[in-house]
Amino acid sequence: MVKEAYVHLRTIPNITMARFGSEQQQASTVLEIVNCCKLPKMAFASQVVAPSSTLRPRILITGAVTDAEALSACQTFQILVQRSMQVQVAVVRSPEEMEDGLPFASYVVVLFSRGMLRDPSFAKILLSAKSLSDPNNNGSLIEAELSPGTSEASDSVWGGVLSVSRRHSDNKHKASERNLKFVTVSADAGFEYPSLEFYEELELHRLGLSDSSRLGAEAGPELAKAYRSLLSVLSLPLSSLGSIGLLETQVSEICRRFRKYRDSAVGLALDQAADDSTSKELSKRRRRVILLEEEEEDNSTPAESSPPPPK
């Protein structure tokens, strides 16, 4: 009977899902499965309907995105948060995606998992966020959101919410009305907080990787400062392998940290107002970059030597 079952399994259509593929690729694979099983598509339609004016993600999620389990936790968390908050949410997998999304985002959620602090991909994403949030490189990625004498101060520190003061210079995204906040989530019981020896090793030897990781010599001290800031508060728990009931309860608690979107209509209206100034600043930046590139190209082009005068 077991042998016959294996023989039968080989006759069933096989559909491959790209584990690290884009969201669009995975959605296409799911649609292919639905069609193959002749299931009604409406049963799998998302209940989240975001207005067309809010297509920019307002909550960014990242972590050890090169690890299959950690990426799956990020994607599951993305779906649950988006359904709960009715706000556009995206998983960030590269520094380029962070650079594109951060100017319009209000929150960045980091999911802690085993080995994340030694993952060069996460390190580059975090350094990208640092450079965009702190162009003057004053050594701190994030600042604790404190309001002395109020309950919000304690909630911010012990609830895993950290606020970034955006002081952008002229060569970066300038003076957005948003106050970017980092929310930390412990999504893996195997995650270990680093020791002092880890920070010392990090400052001296980066992640112990070759230059192929594209982390420059200065990345060690920068990473150490960014990690210290990120790990300076307690994170909220997320049992990524738990039941859907437990996950929804934990996500509901985490979503309380997204105070801006407690009333999603009000929060998105504030975002829309801030988008206008952000878009103008980004357009100015692009024009400056184009002018600088043209200027460098003109300077690097050798002047044509004029022919010698006739004798």
Q: What is the pLDDT of residues 74-122, one digit of tens each?
A: 999 999 999 999 999 999 999 999 999 999 999 999 999 999 999 999 9
Pairing of the two strands 59-62 and 107-112: parallel
Domain 22-283, CATH: 3.40.50.10140
pLDDT at 53: 44
Residues in CB range of 143: below 8 A, 6 or more apart: 162, 163, 164, 165, 229
Q: In this structure, what are the phi and psi dihedrals at residue 8, rounded to the nearest 5 degrees?
A: -65, -40
**Mean pLDDT rounded to a whole number for the chain:** 79
Task: Give the lowest-confidence range in 3-17, 130-144, 208-222.
Answer: 130-144
Interval 228-255: pLDDT, tens: 999 987 899 999 899 999 999 999 999 9
Look at residue 168 and tell me whether its pLDDT is greater than 60. no
0.85 cut: is pTM over it?
no
In angstroms, the CA 265 to CA 43 distance is 27
User: Which tokens in the block code for residue 278?
Assistant: 């952000």
Distance CA 143, CA 160 (A): 12
